[in-house]
Structure 1
Amino acid sequence: MRLRLGLLLLAVAVLLIPPTSPGSKPFLPRKDSSSLVDDRYGIDFINGAGYSIPEFRYQQAVASGARWDRWPMYWHLIEPTFDQFDYRAEDEALERDLAHGLKVEAILLGTPGWTFTAGSAVAPFSRVEDKPSPRPAPGVRPLNEVAGASSPPRNLGEPVFRADGSINRDNYWGYFVYNTVSRYKDRIKVWEMWNEPDFLVFWLGSVEDYYQLLKVGYLAAKAADPDATVLLGGLAYWTNAQFLPRLLDLMASDPPARQKGFYFDALPVHLYASSYDIYQETTRTQGLVRSKLGVDKRIWVNEANVPVCDDAEPGNGTPFCPARWRGTMEQQADFVIQAFALAAAADLERLFMFQFYDDVMPPREWYGLVRNNSRPRPSFYAYQVAARYLINPQQATYESRGQVEQVTLTGTPHGKVTVVWNNSFEPVTARIKALTGSAQMVFKNGDKRTLKADGDYYVVDLPPTTYRDEVSGTADIGGEPYILVESGTAKIATRVEALPDFAAGRSFTVAWSQTDATGIPVTFDIEYREGKGGSWKSWLSDTSAATAVFGPENPVPVKEGEVYYFRSRGRDPQGDMEPDPPADGHALTKIPLYLSGRVSDNRDNPLRGATVASADGLSVAQSGADGRYSVLVFPRGTYDFTARKEGFTELPYKAIGLTESLGYDFVLPPKQEAVANGGFEDKLNGWTVEGNAVQKSFRHTGKYGAYIGAPGALSQKLTISPDMQLPTLSFFYRSPASSKPGELKVSLAGASGSANKSFPIVGDDVWHNVWIDAASIRGEATLRLSLEGADAVVWLDEVSLGLSNPPPPVGPQPLYLPIITSGTSQ
Structure 2
Amino acid sequence: MRRPSHLKWLAAPLLALAVAGSPAAAAPNLDTRLGIAEGFRNPGVMADTHAGWERLILPWDQVQPGGADDFSHLGITISDQQLKAELDRGEHVVGLLEFTPGWAAANPDQGMRSPPINLDRPFDDPSNYWGRFVSETARHYAGRIDDWVLWNEPEFHPGDPGAGGSFTWLGSDEQFAQLLKVGYLAIKKANPNAHVSFPGTSYWVDLLNNRPQFYDRLMGVLTQDPDAAANNYYHDVVGLNLYRAPDDVYRVYSIIKDIQRKYGIDKPVWLTETNAMPSDDRAVACPHADTAIQTTMDQQAAYAVQAFAMAAAAGYQRFEFYQMVDQNPCAEPAVWGATRDDGSRRPVSAALQTAIGQFAGYIGVHLVPLVRETQDWSPWPEDPSSLMPNWQVYQVAFDKPGNQRVTAVWNGDGSPLRVRIRKNGSSASLIDRNGASHQVQDAQGWWVLDLAPATAHFPQDPDGYHFIGGEPMLLVEDGVDPSAPVVAPALGDPGSVPREFRLFPSPRDGQTVSQGQSADYFISVRGYEGFDDPVTFTLDHWSTQRVPRPQDPSTLPLGLTLPESVMPGQTAMVHLETAGADPGIYFIDVRANGGGISKTIQIALVVD
TM class by shorter-chain length? 0.5 to 0.7
Q: Which protein has the bigger helix share?
A: 2
1:380 paired with 2:366, answer no
1:334–1:119 CA distance, 2 compared to 1 (3 A): farther
Query: Is 1:448–2:437 an aligned residue pair?
Result: yes
CA distance in 1: counterparts of 2:203 and 2:401, whole angstroms: 32
Which residue of 282, 299, 308 corresponds with 1:312?
Answer: 282
Does residue 361 of the first structure (1) align with residue 302 of the second (2)?
Answer: no
Q: Secondary structure at the match of 2:127?
A: coil
Superposed displacement of residue 115, structure 1: 1.7
* TM-score normalized with structure 2 length: 0.65
List aligned pairs for 1:648-797, cutoff 5 A. none
C-alpha spacing 1:413/1:149, structure 2 compared with 1 (3 Å): farther
What residue in structure 1 maps to residue 466 of structure 2? 475
User: In structure 1, how many angstroms separate the alpha carbons of the residues matched to 2:349 and 2:178?
Assistant: 39
Percent identity, aligned pairs only, is 33
**In structure 1, how many angstroms separate the alpha carbons of the residues matched to 2:328 and 2:278?**
13
User: After superposition, where does 1:120-199 map in structure 2 within 5 Å?
Assistant: 120=109, 147-160=110-123, 167-199=124-156
Instruction: Give the equivalent residue in structure 1 for 2:269.
Output: 299
Partner of 1:88: 75
Displacement of 1:97 after TM fit? 2.6
**Take 1:45 and 1:325, find their aligned partners in 2: how far apart are those partners?**
25
Alignment pair present for 1:42 and 2:35 = yes
- Gap runs ≥5 in structure 2: 4-27, 158-166, 373-391, 482-608
Question: Which stretch of structure 1 is more off in the superposition, 454-463 or 233-242?
Answer: 233-242
Give the aligned residue type for 1:44: A
Q: Give TM-score, length-normalised by structure 1.
A: 0.49
Aligned to 1:39, what secondary structure does the other structure show?
A: strand
Deviations 1:20-50 (A, max 9, x none): xxxxxxxxxxxxxxx7642101111223xxx
Residue of structure 2 equivalent to 1:556: none
State how far apart, in whole Å, the 1-side matches of 2:403 and 2:47 are: 20
RMSD: 2.2
Q: 1:288 is matched with which residue?
A: 259
SS of 2:302's equivalent? helix
Give the residue type in structure 1 aligned to 2:246: S
Cα distance, 1:251 vs structure 2: 2.4
Given the alignment of the two structures, is residue 487 of structure 1 paired with residue 478 of structure 2, yes or no? yes
| 1:97 correspondence with 2:90 | no
Give the structure 1 partner of residue 489 of structure 2: none
CA distance in 1, matches of 2:236, 2:293: 31
Structure 1 SS opposite 2:368: strand
Q: 1:85-121: CA deviations, max 9, x gaps?
A: 122324444334324432211111111111212363x
User: Does 2:187 match 1:221?
Assistant: yes
CA contact (8 A) 1:44 1:69 kept: yes
SS, match of residue 43 in structure 2: helix
Q: Is the 8 A contact 2:414 2:455 kept in 1?
A: yes
Question: Take 1:325 and 1:170, find their aligned partners in 2: how far apart are those partners?
Answer: 46
Contact 2:32/2:91, CA 8 A, preserved across alignment: no
| CA distance in structure 1 between the partners assigned to 2:136 and 2:59 by the alignment | 14
**Could you tell me whether the CA contact under 8 Å between 1:37 and 1:388 is conserved in 2?**
no
How far apart are 1:363 and its partner, in Å? 5.3
Equivalent position of 2:490 in the other structure: none
Q: Is structure 2 residue 420 aligned with structure 1 residue 463?
A: no
The letter of the residue matching 1:347 is G
- State the alpha-carbon separation in 2 of the partners of residues 96 and 77 from structure 1: 23
* Equivalent-residue separation in structure 2 for 1:273 and 1:79 (angstroms): 35
Tell me the secondary structure at the aligned position of residue 416 of structure 1.
strand
Structure 1 CA distance for aligned equivalents of residues 170 and 369 of structure 2: 41
Question: What amino acid maps onto 1:84 in structure 2?
Answer: D
Quote the Cα distance in structure 2 between the aligned partners of 1:282 and 1:260: 24
> In 2, Cα distance between the equivalents of 1:461 and 1:88?
50
Q: 2:282 corresponds to which letter in structure 1?
A: A
Contact 1:306–1:332 (CA<8 Å) still a contact in 2?
Answer: yes
Greater RCO, CA 8 A, separation 6+? 2
Aligned to 2:199: 233
User: Larger C-alpha radius of gyration, 1 or 2?
Assistant: 1
Contact 1:324-1:470 at 8 Å conserved across structures? no
**Separation in structure 2 between the aligned mates of residue 36 and residue 488 of structure 1, nearest angstrom:** 22
Q: Give the whole-Å Cα distance in 1 for the aligned partners of 2:338 and 2:54.
A: 14
Describe the shift of the 1:5–1:282 C-alpha distance in structure 2 as closer, same or farther (beyond 3 A). Answer: closer
- Following superposition, the deviation at residue 434 of structure 1 comes to 0.6
Aligned residue number for residue 797 of structure 1: none
Q: Equivalent residue for 1:269?
A: 240
| Number of residue pairs aligned between Structure 1 and Structure 2 | 417
Structure 2 CA distance for partners of 1:449 and 1:216, relative to 1, 3 Å = same
Q: Kindly provide the CA deviation profile for residues 480-501 of structure 1, in whole angstroms up to 9, marking residues without a partner as x.
A: 11100002179xxxxxxxxxxx
Q: Letter of the aligned partner of 2:469 in structure 1?
A: G
Moved >6 Å (runs of 4+): none
Distance in 2 separating the partners of 1:465 and 1:450 = 21
**Correspondence for 2:60:** 75
Q: Output the amino acid matched with 1:441.
A: L
User: Displacement of 1:449 after TM fit?
Assistant: 2.7
**Aligned match for 1:415, one of 381, 404, 416:** 404
Please show how residues 450-599 of structure 1 align to structure 2 within 5 Å. 450-473=439-462, 474-488=465-479
1:254 deviation in Å? 2.7
CA contact (8 A) 1:337 1:386 kept: yes
CA offsets, 1:329-357, max 9 Å, x none? 11001100001111111121111101111
- Between the aligned partners of 1:400 and 1:157, the Cα distance in structure 2 is 50
The amino acid of 1:408's aligned partner reads A
Deviation sequence 1:555-612 (CA, Å, 0-9, x none): xxxxxxxxxxxxxxxxxxxxxxxxxxxxxxxxxxxxxxxxxxxxxxxxxxxxxxxxxx
Work out whether residues 422 and 428 of structure 1, in 8 Å CA contact, stay in contact via their aligned partners in 2. Answer: yes
Q: CA deviation at 1:426?
A: 2.1
Deviations 1:691-737 (A, max 9, x none): xxxxxxxxxxxxxxxxxxxxxxxxxxxxxxxxxxxxxxxxxxxxxxx
User: Which residue number in structure 2 is paired with residue 767 of structure 1?
Assistant: none
Structure 1 segments unaligned to the other structure (5+ residues): 7-34, 48-52, 121-146, 161-166, 491-826
Q: Secondary structure at the match of 2:151?
A: strand
Whole-Å separation in 2 of the counterparts to 1:96 and 1:176 = 25
Amino acid at match of 1:258: A
| Structure 2 match to 1:395 | 364
- Call closer, same or farther: CA 1:414–1:368 in 2, change over 3 Å: farther
Structure 1 residue 62 corresponds to structure 2 residue 47: yes
Contact 2:115 2:175 in 1 (8 A): yes
Give the structure 1 partner of residue 103 of structure 2.
114
Change (3 A) 1:440 1:38: same
1:257 aligns with 2:228: yes
CA apart distance, 1:324: 2.4
Partner Cα separation in structure 2 for residue 5 and residue 352 of structure 1:
16
